């Protein structure tokens, strides 16, 4: 398993979840012959163990594309769509294989009203914060505006760097659809 520094959101989440989170992620079913648990553009769910349990009930794990991917922006938008769908509806979206929720108890339902999210695709995946923020805002706006949509979860971004916050604020203001 790749261990990321606590200076990035995934590393901080992994550190806070500890060995229990490692075990929950290991328990996710594989979705391909290479043994991957979650493919680029998809999402999987687990419980929120360790120090995470104080603030969260569940975690949605999503795999954004590397910036060098030719279809980076649509893949990143699909990643947000998959994660939001899982968080809001408690089920996987129809497109693409995704593993079941692990460590939920009860029926495994995942429906929630507030999502705390990192700025997917930025940092270790190679995108500049401004690029990633523009895709994030567009993807979330599109997700909320899809036909037949019900009220989705409130999305709160958690950013370690102030520059990422500034980029998100600029993207939100530029969209003309949301407020900061």
The whole-chain average pLDDT of the chain stands at 81
User: Under the phi-then-psi rule, with left for phi > 0, alpha for psi from -120 to 50, and beta for the rest, what region is 26?
Assistant: alpha
pLDDT in tens, 5-59: 445 778 888 999 999 999 999 999 999 999 999 999 999 999 999 989 988 888 9
Q: Is the separation of the CB atoms in 144 and 85 below 8 Å? A: no
Domain 9-175, CATH number (from 2.40.70.10, 1.10.8.640, 3.90.1300.10, 3.40.220.10): 3.40.220.10
Assign 176 a pLDDT band (cuts: 50, 70, 90). confident
Check residue 95 and give its pLDDT: 42
User: Which residues are paired to 45 by β-bridges?
Assistant: 60
Closest listed residue to residue 103, CA positions, set 9, 19, 20, 30: 20
Q: Is the separation of the CB atoms in 119 and 136 below 8 Å? A: yes
Assign 91 a pLDDT band (cuts: 50, 70, 90). low
- Least confident range from 5-19, 102-116, 124-138: namely 102-116
pLDDT in tens, 59-77: 999 999 999 999 999 999 9
Mean pLDDT within 97-110:
41
Q: Where are the domains of the chain?
A: 9-175
* pTM for this model (two decimals): 0.81
């Amino acid at each position: 398993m790749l261990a990321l520094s606590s200076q990035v959101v995934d590393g901080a989440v992994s550190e806070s979840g500890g060995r229990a989170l490692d075990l929950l992620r290991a328990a996710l079913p594989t979705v391909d012959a290479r043994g991957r648990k979650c493919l680029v553009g998809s999402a999987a769910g687990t419980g929120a163990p360790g120090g995470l349990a104080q603030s969260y009930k569940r975690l949605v794990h999503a795999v954004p594309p590397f910036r060098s991917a030719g279809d980076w922006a649509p893949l990143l938008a699909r990643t947000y769509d998959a994660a939001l769908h899982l968080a809001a509806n408690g089920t996987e979206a129809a497109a693409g294989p995704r593993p079941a929720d692990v460590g939920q108890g009860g029926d495994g339902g995942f429906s929630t009203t507030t999502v705390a999210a990192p700025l997917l695709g930025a940092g270790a995946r190679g995108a500049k914060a401004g690029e990633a923020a523009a895709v994030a805002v567009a993807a979330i706006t599109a997700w909320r505006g899809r036909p037949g949509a019900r009220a989705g979860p409130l999305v709160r971004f958690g950013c370690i760097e102030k520059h990422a916050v500034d980029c998100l604020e600029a993207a939100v203001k530029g969209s003309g659809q949301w407020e900061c």
